[in-house]
Amino acid sequence: MSSRPLAILDARLLDPASGRDERGGLLVVDGRIADLGPGLGAEGLPPGCEVLRAEGLCLAPGLVDLRVMVGEPGAEHKERMDSAVAAAAAGGITAFAMRPDTEPALDDPAMLEFVARRARKLRSVKVYPWAALTRGCQGERLAEMGLLHEAGAVGFTDGPRALADARLMYRALAYATAFDALVAQHPEEPRLAEGGVMNEGWTALRLGLPGIPACAEVVMVERDLRLAEATGGRIHFAGISTAEAVAVIRRAKERGVRVSSDVTAHHLLLTEREVEGYRTYAKVTPPLRREEDREALVAGLADGTIDAVTSDHTPQDQDSKRLPFEQAAFGVVGLETLLAAGLELVHAGRLSLLRLLAAASTAPARLLGLEGGRLERGAPADLVLFDPEACWTVTEEGLHSLARNTPFEGRRFRGRVVRTLVDGRTVFRLEEECGGAV
């Protein structure tokens, strides 16, 4: 906890949970929000209080990232826990859920405790583990879901491997209802996607690359919605990429199915055209789709059909990416560009700022059952202070992640994190002065 009270004054307070958007101050005592509002000023603060003058910059709940790959254990050369939390802090993320497809997989309580212990030692961004849905994330036998839930798992998933066995998914959803656990699925029918490396269509045909059809996604979504409806389980689709899937999920929500979904920041901004020139940094799963799909994703996020936005941070080393396109590994890094990418849509008038923050903080926290994602008295002081107008350019050298596989290299963004606080402690501070706030 912070040893001294902290007051952040003259900030634009943004709380998507309550709809708050007003100029005011916020007081942190013992790592939690003690007071906030337009009436909070320099007078009447606790003795010895540290004062931070925001000068109109935005103060919001820290972002909560639903899906982050950390190479530890097993692939520390791609990303370590310390580098992952440093990258997250630089992106305004105060908590993230770690994918379970490590080596070995997070499929027993001892592995979950390993993750928790490593994160606690760093005293920085909070890390919560997903547990493997099946043993070793292999899709053959269910993991010990009850024990893993008791050990602190925020949900169950096999990461980027879809659970193809419908009977096994049915059993998983039914069993998860005993403790109201979230089951996340990679929405891609494996046999339809087998061998594909990008979106199926004219671009893939022209480049001579095998494609992944859009129907591979909607087939899996339709199947698992039926299973969730039959069992009453909570199904989450991780990384929706097609207009058809958005439409199907919208209809399912209307009839009361317990479904949620997320979209990645790169799918909101980029399309299959990024693959031109065989750019392996644009090779992701699910693949970048058509412009029509991207538009549907933005609209689905804006109207609440899609619940959350995530980085789907998947670090890869140079040897895994600098290969012929078909052989290169899937995935991009995105922790440090999550907020900035979302702000692109705000500046373009496609999303309100509060809707973006709801999708990047409040909704993920709610889905995972975490405390964060709101500015209110008694809530953890997990905060991000950002300048929505500050311009900066993404460079590989400027990233805190060990990996450099960003699809946004050279892109100029408008909106930058100035400071990130976890339990009232500063875990990231922008080096250069910005609006007098740092």
How confident is the model over 24-50, as pLDDT tens digits?
999 999 999 999 999 898 888 999 999
Task: Say whether pLDDT at 437 is over 70.
Answer: no
Same domain, 179 and 160: yes
Residues 126 and 15 both lie in one domain: no
Task: Name the more confident of 221 and 438.
Answer: 221
33 and 130 fall within a common domain: no
pLDDT class of 387 with cuts at 50, 70, 90: very high
Q: Are residues 294 and 279 in the same domain?
A: yes
Residue 419 lies in a domain: yes
- Tell me if 68 is assigned to some domain: yes
Question: Do residue 225 and residue 275 come from a single domain?
Answer: yes
> Percent of the chain beyond pLDDT 70?
98
Q: Quick check: 438 pLDDT over 80?
A: no
Main-chain phi, psi angles of 9, to 5 degrees: -110, 155
Q: 79 and 33, same structural domain?
A: no
Same domain, yes or no: 385 and 298: no
Residue 152 identity (one-letter amino acid): G
The pLDDT tens digits for 47-74 are 999 999 999 999 999 999 999 999 999 9
Mean pLDDT of 391-419: 96
Q: Does the pLDDT of residue 2 top 70, yes or no?
A: no
Q: How confident is the model at residue 436 (pLDDT cuts 50, 70, 90)?
A: very low
What's the whole-number average pLDDT of the chain?
A: 96
Same domain, 72 and 54: no
Helix axes 166-176, 215-231, angle to 10 degrees: 40
312 noted as active-site residue = yes
Please check the confidence at residue 152 and state whether its pLDDT lies above 80: yes
Residue 434: pLDDT above 90?
Answer: no
- Catalytic pick among 158, 312, 382, 423: 312
Whether 293 and 213 share a structural domain: yes
pTM to 2 decimal places: 0.96
| Over residues 158-162, mean pLDDT | 97
Same domain, 356 and 238: yes
Token pair 């999303």 in the structure block, residue: 351
pLDDT in tens, 84-125: 999 999 999 999 999 999 999 999 999 999 999 999 999 999
Grade residue 433 by pLDDT with cuts at 50, 70 and 90.
very low
Two tokens, residue 118:
């490593």
- Which distant-in-sequence residues (6+ apart) come within 8 Å of 368 by Cβ? 64, 66, 97, 128, 154, 155, 182
**Is residue 1 a part of any domain in this protein?**
no
The model's pLDDT over 283-303, given as tens digits with 9 standing for 90+, comes to 999 999 999 999 999 999 999
Residue-wise pLDDT tens digits, 271-287: 999 999 999 999 999 99
Show the domain range for 37: 6-59+379-390+406-429
**How sure is the predictor about 3, in pLDDT bands with cuts at 50, 70 and 90?**
confident
Contacts of 91 (CB under 8 A, 6+ apart): 63, 311, 335, 336, 337, 338, 339, 417
Across 358-384, average pLDDT = 97
CATH number of domain containing 13: 2.30.40.10
Q: Do residues 115 and 38 both lie within one domain? A: no
Between CA 171 and CA 167 the distance in angstroms is: 6
* pLDDT value of residue 44: 84
Number of domains in the chain: 2
Check whether residue 55 and residue 67 sit in a common domain. no
